[in-house]
Amino acid sequence: MATISSYKTSQGQTRYRVRYRTPDRRQTDKRGFRTKRDAEQFAATVEVAKMRGEYVPPTVGTHHRWGTRPWLAGAPEGTYEAVRLPFV
């Protein structure tokens, strides 16, 4: 179950935040929705994805350190050409 709350930006605009739990029971949130309806739609998609077992955390793919990308381990810094991933 997600919780939706409103907040004010520094410019005085109203935005909405969705707080929800991941499948491993950690609390997280996503904020910056301009309308409450957008926030509700996002919350619904997260809940459906969790029920279907298709949930992918929003932070996947945002790590930029060599240690968090095992397929780049050992590659010299700045050389992405050294690793070629197959296209599916």
The whole-number pLDDT of residue 11 equals: 96
Residue positions counted in the chain: 88
Q: What is the pLDDT of residue 76?
A: 55
Token duo for residue 50: 């969790």
Return the exposure string of 28-53: e unless at least 16 CB atoms fall within 10 Å of the residue's CB, then b: eebeebeeeeebeebbeebeeeeeee
pLDDT band (50, 70, 90) for residue 29? very high
Q: What is the mean pLDDT of the chain?
A: 79
**Which residue did the predictor score with more confidence, 67 or 5?**
5
pTM of the model: 0.63
